Amino acid sequence: MLPLPQEAGVPDGVFQVVHGDKEAVDAILNHPDIKAVGFVGSSDIAQYIYATAAATGKRSQCFGGAKNHMIVMPDADLDQAVDALIGAGYGSAGERCMAISVAVP
């Protein structure tokens, strides 16, 4: 994912992906040169980041607690649909924000 902004001409250092704990998050949220943050993850952490960013004057975009649906159409190949549902629901042990949590027949 990271090479895409560079390929589009975004200058180095403008787009960063950071993995870290609360200490890393707080360092980012309290750094005066960082003007905006984005987050994808749990609702509790999204709320914390949103509130802290607002308190420090940063722009933020936080996505937390996604519920993703899969619709199985009446003419669908059921073997293929079940295979896709299992992979989408349980891939990465279901611990990713885009995991399917609801299937609608």
Residue 15 CB partners (closer than 8 Å, separation 6+):
2, 5
Residue 81 CB partners (closer than 8 Å, separation 6+):
72
Residues with a catalytic annotation lie at 97
Residues 103/87/89/24 CA torsion (nearest 10 deg): -150
